[in-house]
Structure 1
Amino acid sequence: MKYNITINSILNVNEIPDYWNEQDYLKLLELFNFPDPETIAKENLLDYLKMAITDEKPTDAAVILLTYKLSEELNEGQISQISNDMLLDKVCEEYPEIDLHAPLFHINQLLYLAYNGRFPNATATILNCEIIAEDTEDKSELGNEQILKILAQGLGKSALLKRLFPEQLAGAKPFPEANDILWELESLGSNQYKLITSEYWLSKSDFDQGEYMADIVFDEEMEEE
């Protein structure tokens, strides 16, 4: 299937708005032993949470946040190890389980902001693009896998995504990792798409061109071969 792609914007950000909500702030303030968090005005919750975080040692604060978000995915030993590693490396980019990259990013950045840069700074990418099918009758729904295959054809050869998943992007192998590489995908209508991922996977410098044509293989086409 052929598509015409235009990259409208690529924005690098240090945090994703609305990931942490009011209930998260209140629960975390309790976990950090902050008295009467329910009396704090909504607009001040994050500032008070940052203060509560910095009352703890960095590794202890990391343990609290990791346990709050990832206790079902990680055991105590793993959480302890990651809490130490986070002070030295961008664990949210290097951790072998890709499905944990997104929550690790959000935890890392909350710690980075609270401790004013003591933790390494990680970056997310917000990309807006237009994708138009050459076949005007084509109504195929584009999911994470298809979007990544389409975008990959505009990337340079050195892009990490192309180096790690060449067969998957070419349609020669299934690509379940796509659902973890893309953290959010939103169809904005009129062939416009917005996606959020780590700069580790997609960055502005990865793209060779802002407008190009892509030809991708859908799963059903693989099955017919």
Structure 2
Amino acid sequence: MKYAIKIHKISTVDDLDNAWNLEDYKELLERFELPNVESTDLKEVRELLFMAISDKEPSEAARIVLDYKLSDKMNEHQIDSVSYEMLIDKISEEYPRIELHKTLFIINQLLYKAFNGKFPNAKATIIDFEITPKMNADKDINKEIVLKCFAQNLDSHNVIKRLFHKQLDAEEAFDEANNIIWFLNKIHDKFQLITSDYFMSREEFLNDEFDAKISVFEEE
């Protein structure tokens, strides 16, 4: 299958819009022992939460937020371990379970801002683009198609090309694509994807416009 891709904009950010809502902040305030906050102003409640978070030791604060977001995915020992590792490493890039990277990024950046930089500063990449199927290419654009196309426009040092070459070449199923790309949204006739800067950074892109020919894994 062949596709034509045109990149309109690549942005590097350290936060994701709407990653946390008012209910999240108020639940966390309860857990950080500041209950019954009346305000409905998101910015004001966020500032109160930051103050409550910064009153704790960093690893303890990390443990509380991790428990809130990931207690259904991690056991107590794992949460305790990650709460310490987060202070040293970009755990949202290095944790072996890729399906947790997005949530770990969201948690990391909340803590990074609350503690004014005591946690490592992770980044995300946002790409606005058009993708046009050619000839008999599948018109139902999904994360695997997009990721395989974009990989052909990344330099040879890119981590996706190094770690997932068999999946990119359709020698194996590429289930990881659904977790490498955090969001894929269609906006009118254009698309926007969000992923970790670890997987795709702005500096790794070779061209703004390119054609990509890809294959899809087929089980025997």
TM-score by length of 1: 0.93
Gaps of 5+ in 1: none
- Pick from 204, 209, 216: which aligns with 1:218? 216
The CA distance in 2 between the partners of 1:185 and 1:210, in whole Å, is 19
Partner residue in 2 for 1:58: 58
Partner residue in 2 for 1:172: 171
- Pick from 195, 198, 201: which aligns with 1:197? 195
The CA distance in 2 between the partners of 1:110 and 1:43, in whole Å, is 13
Percent of paired sites with the same residue? 45
User: Displacement, 1:134?
Assistant: 2.0
The CA distance in 1 between the partners of 2:183 and 2:213, in whole Å, is 23
The DSSP-based 3-state class of the residue aligned with 1:66 is helix
CA contact (8 A) 1:26 1:38 kept: no
The CA distance in 2 between the partners of 1:93 and 1:138, in whole Å, is 32
1:81-134 Cα offsets, whole Å, 9 max, x none, are: 111111111011000010110100000000000000010000001111111122
The DSSP-based 3-state class of the residue aligned with 1:126 is strand
Aligned pairs, how many?
Answer: 220
CA contact (8 A) 1:160 1:201 kept: yes
The CA distance in 2 between the partners of 1:8 and 1:189, in whole Å, is 14
1:33-90 Cα offsets, whole Å, 9 max, x none, are: 1142134633311111101100111011000000000001111111111111111110
TM-score by length of 2: 0.95
Gaps of 5+ in 2: none
Between stretches 138-147 and 113-122, larger displacement belongs to 138-147
User: Displacement, 1:217?
Assistant: 1.3
CA contact (8 A) 2:86 2:119 kept: yes
Partner residue in 2 for 1:186: 185
The CA distance in 1 between the partners of 2:146 and 2:132, in whole Å, is 12
Partner residue in 1 for 2:147: 148
User: Displacement, 1:9?
Assistant: 1.0
AA paired with 1:63?
A: R
User: Displacement, 1:172?
Assistant: 1.6
CA contact (8 A) 1:15 1:123 kept: yes
AA paired with 1:28?
A: L
CA contact (8 A) 2:54 2:115 kept: yes
Are residues 39 and 210 of structure 1, via their aligned partners in 2, closer, same or farther at CA, if it must alter by over 3 Å? Answer: closer
The CA distance in 2 between the partners of 1:166 and 1:152, in whole Å, is 10
Are residues 155 and 42 of structure 1, via their aligned partners in 2, closer, same or farther at CA, if it must alter by over 3 Å? Answer: closer
